[in-house]
Chain A
Amino acid sequence: MTTATSSPARRRSDWFKENRNRFTTLAILVFLLLAAMSGVERDDWFSTIMQGLSVGAITFLVASGLSLIFGLMDVLNLAHGELFMLGAYVGWTVYTRFDTVVDILVPLLILSAPFTLLPLWRRLAAAIGSTPLGRRWAGLGLLAAGATTTFVSVTRFPLVIWDPGNFAMSPSNFSVQIDLGTLAPLPPDTFGWPAVIAILATLLGGSLLALGFNVLRSQIDERTVVTRKHLLGFGVLIVTAIVLLAVKEPLNEWVFGLSTTWRFFLAMVVSVAVGSAAGALIEVALIRPLYDRPIYQLMMTLGVGFILIELVREVWGRPEFTMSRPAAFNGTGPGCPGEGLGGFFSGCSTLEAFGSRLRVYNEGFVILAGIVVLIGVTLLLKRTRIGMIIRAGVQDPEMVEALGINVRRVFTMVFALGSGLAAFGGVLAAPSIGLGTGMGAVFLLSAIVALAIGGLTSFPGAAAGAVLVGLLQQIIIRYGQSGINLPFLDEPFKPSPTLVPAAAILLMIVVLLVLPAGLFGRSER
């Protein structure tokens, strides 16, 4: 009753009182930032802040998904950094070697087609044995047979791909070629078996896998009727695969003729799609069976991360390589660098503003993309039904389920969304920081620190924490060059680059000492 009767002014003063610690902490952080800035030359501070925001934006893309997943499902996804890395590598592949993407997509579409006929597999699964042990062995046997068939048949599909061991065919060489504009599709490969047999065998492999998974499921589901919708999904996948096979060569020529800006756009779309799909798959197949066992879950995501790193090493090779910036952010020559903030649209690679030189891609586009995602996800959470369900589920998933909402499906969707955001961060980061298998771990650490600072499950907290961590890291790097004049020291103190992650953790410790729940967090129930 109190809240309803108290005056708005009173409520506001209460609110200030309740948040006093929060404001004090923020004020001190801003003061420290300004004090730190005063030691840097004026020309530098704008570019340092923008670089900090850029790193913050990418950290935010990792932290946001981590926060959503942790908030709703209490899963700390330690593979999140590797999903970020995967996004970067997949993005590079679409951007640089579209022909390889088509070759991989065809068998993948055919393999996933049987999974659309879920009710059929449920019905067949129900008919297989009734003792739990029998079903278990039958399920595992089916999975093994399916995996073998799939492996044998899928490797018979044509595949043109880079070769990290051969310089002319290595990813780094292709990156140079795309920058020079000399990149062309590789000569197409052929089927190892007659095409029809390879396709049918892949369908068989997919069917065995789908059946195996359903035999292993214990819950009874009444929906065992294949409807037109299921058949339509099956048909669309098969037809898409066959059409892709037929038009592969002209399609590759066309894509390789597109400007790199369009190809980068395509890379972002595919990366997000692959990241989301990988996330959904990880949740359904690996995390879901372990919701009762949080420690196992933690170990599972850690293991998935290592597997993803090894997978990337195997496919793309160990050496790090770069990804060229898309044409719209890579212009040079007359009229460059662009003048003022309007220079963002000049097509130049750099611009001059406030006496600093900025890179249009890093300090412009990346920050803009981060802001767009922040606004988009905030609107999703605040304005849509699914967002409402997520906010409710963060507090009490059991009650949400009791209202008739399939919470498990919401879990999968949120996992896919979070993984998609991480992958988006990866593809955005690739042109500015390059590709390497260590990139995931670096940003995962930053993201976890950002979450702790922002208040683990708070979405705006993830954004604020990420920006703080990004700014701090860039300022430290800046001081590594110019030095800080500390009292009692004869020479300026120059923090070494190894202090960058340490500084972020120090910031986290300071914030948590004052605000144990983080800047925006609510104290635990």
Chain B
Amino acid sequence: MSLLRLDEVHTFIGQYHILEGVSLDVPAGDIVALLGRNGAGKTTTLKTILGLTPARKGTVQLDGQDITLRRSFDIANMGIGYVPEHRAIFADLSVEENLRIAERNKGDLAEREELIFGLFPDLKRLIRLPGTNLSGGQQQMLAVARALVPDNRLLLIDEPSEGLAPVIIEQMMEAITRLSEHSTVLLVEQNFIVAGRLAQHYVIIEEGKSVKAGSMADLVDDDETIKRYLGAA
């Protein structure tokens, strides 16, 4: 049964029609990769789910409940974690504060400390440093860790491998695999190799429309589709 379902979603930013009909299903417990070229509307899809750029037409359902018109903080509090692109961590806050601010109930951080520092042992060492002093990889770890603090059933992760060194990408992939044991993941990923290894399903977006979806295992062998929509073999 699907945890998240988008049905013919249209989103405008200002007067620009960004999403022109996105439909997708995210089955509970799986990792779904959202693929497509730059500017296809992948990030806007994530923001529309969260209500940051609300849909003007179509519906977004979480666990069968319509959340299209709800306010962002309300949607997030239903159990959605967001890891934005460009690692939007809070530069003025310490690593610990960056994690603590994501607490929805007192003690969330203490409860999941083991999981978080198990995945990212570096963060424990850097706990008192301000976010601005972290390296790119460390900031990305912090951004993922922050989404793990509350008990989220769905994680929206935007470009986790962007601009990272190969060693760090490996670590990030392992972390995402491990955290998918706890929550469902909708992943935006430009790096097809990363997406192919992580996800069970894929959805391709082109020019604001969802054009193709299916099982990742099939896509890996489907050179024609890859070439046509993703521009790489």
When the two chains form the complex, which single residue of B70, B82, B104, B129 contacts A3, counting CB atoms closer than 8 Å? Answer: B129
A418 → B minimal CB distance (Å):
19
Task: Report A-chain residues with C-beta under 8 Å of the C-beta of B70.
Answer: 220, 222
Q: A295 contacts the other chain (Cβ, under 8 Å)?
A: no
- Once the chains bind, are A401 and B97 in contact (CB under 8 Å)? no
Task: Report A-chain residues with C-beta under 8 Å of the C-beta of B228.
Answer: none
Residue of A nearest to B71 (CB): A219
Q: B50 contacts the other chain (Cβ, under 8 Å)?
A: yes
Task: Report A-chain residues with C-beta under 8 Å of the C-beta of B3.
Answer: none
Tell me the B121-153 residues at the A interface (CB within 8 Å). 125-126, 129, 133-135, 138, 146, 150
Complex CA gap A429/B52 in Å reads 43
Among B85-93, B185-193, B197-205, B213-221, which stretch is in contact with chain A? B85-93
Task: Report A-chain residues with C-beta under 8 Å of the C-beta of B91.
Answer: 395
- Once the chains bind, are A392 and B77 in contact (CB under 8 Å)? no
A135 → B minimal CB distance (Å):
15
Tell me the B32-82 residues at the A interface (CB within 8 Å). 50, 52, 69-73, 76-77, 82
- Once the chains bind, are A401 and B72 in contact (CB under 8 Å)? yes
When the two chains form the complex, which single residue of A219, A220, A396, A402 contacts B90, counting CB atoms closer than 8 Å? Answer: A396
When the two chains form the complex, which single residue of B72, B93, B129 contacts A4, counting CB atoms closer than 8 Å? Answer: B129
Residue of B nearest to A220 (CB): B69
Complex CA gap A4/B69 in Å reads 44
Q: A2-B135, A391-B93, A403-B101 are in contact. Are A219 and B69 (CB under 8 A)?
A: yes
Complex CA gap A331/B34 in Å reads 76
Complex CA gap A423/B72 in Å reads 33
- Once the chains bind, are B73 and A407 in contact (CB under 8 Å)? yes
Task: Report A-chain residues with C-beta under 8 Å of the C-beta of B146.
Answer: 403
Residue of B nearest to A2 (CB): B135
A67 → B minimal CB distance (Å):
14
A414 → B minimal CB distance (Å):
16
When the two chains form the complex, which single residue of B82, B92, B93, B129 contacts A402, counting CB atoms closer than 8 Å? Answer: B82
B46 → A minimal CB distance (Å):
10
B98 → A minimal CB distance (Å):
8
- Once the chains bind, are A388 and B93 in contact (CB under 8 Å)? yes
- Once the chains bind, are B97 and A388 in contact (CB under 8 Å)? yes
Q: B160 contacts the other chain (Cβ, under 8 Å)?
A: no
In this complex, the member of B70, B71, B72 whose beta carbon has the largest number of chain A beta carbons within 10 angstroms is B72
- Once the chains bind, are B73 and A396 in contact (CB under 8 Å)? no
- Once the chains bind, are B93 and A404 in contact (CB under 8 Å)? no
A281 → B minimal CB distance (Å):
21
Q: A389 contacts the other chain (Cβ, under 8 Å)?
A: yes
Interface size grouping (class) on chain B: 20 to 34
When the two chains form the complex, which single residue of A1, A2, A385, A404 contacts B76, counting CB atoms closer than 8 Å? Answer: A404
In this complex, the member of A388, A398, A402, A403 whose beta carbon has the largest number of chain B beta carbons within 10 angstroms is A402
Complex CA gap A389/B92 in Å reads 11
- Once the chains bind, are B125 and A4 in contact (CB under 8 Å)? yes
Q: B230 contacts the other chain (Cβ, under 8 Å)?
A: no
Task: Report A-chain residues with C-beta under 8 Å of the C-beta of B84.
Answer: 399, 402
When the two chains form the complex, which single residue of B73, B92, B135, B138 contacts A401, counting CB atoms closer than 8 Å? Answer: B73
- Once the chains bind, are A389 and B101 in contact (CB under 8 Å)? yes
- Once the chains bind, are B88 and A388 in contact (CB under 8 Å)? no
B72 → A minimal CB distance (Å):
5
Q: B112 contacts the other chain (Cβ, under 8 Å)?
A: no
Q: A177 contacts the other chain (Cβ, under 8 Å)?
A: no
In this complex, the member of A392, A395, A404 whose beta carbon has the largest number of chain B beta carbons within 10 angstroms is A404
Task: Report A-chain residues with C-beta under 8 Å of the C-beta of B104.
Answer: 404
Complex CA gap A401/B71 in Å reads 9
- Once the chains bind, are A402 and B76 in contact (CB under 8 Å)? yes
Task: Report B-chain residues with C-beta under 8 Å of the C-beta of A401.
Answer: 52, 72-73, 76
Complex CA gap A218/B52 in Å reads 16
- Once the chains bind, are A403 and B135 in contact (CB under 8 Å)? no
Task: Report B-chain residues with C-beta under 8 Å of the C-beta of A399.
Answer: 82, 84, 88, 90
Task: Report B-chain residues with C-beta under 8 Å of the C-beta of A391.
Answer: 90, 92-93
Task: Report B-chain residues with C-beta under 8 Å of the C-beta of A385.
Answer: 100-101
Q: A406 contacts the other chain (Cβ, under 8 Å)?
A: yes
- Once the chains bind, are A405 and B129 in contact (CB under 8 Å)? no
| A1-40 contact mask (Cβ, 8 Å, vs B): 1 or 0 | 1111000000000000000000000000000000000000
Complex CA gap A392/B82 in Å reads 16
Complex CA gap A466/B82 in Å reads 40
Residue of B nearest to A1 (CB): B135
A-B residue pairs, 3 tightest by C-beta: A404-B76, A404-B77, A3-B133
Complex A-B: 13 CB contacts under 8 Å: A3-B129, A4-B126, A219-B71, A385-B100, A389-B101, A392-B93, A395-B92, A396-B88, A396-B90, A402-B50, A403-B82, A403-B146, A404-B102
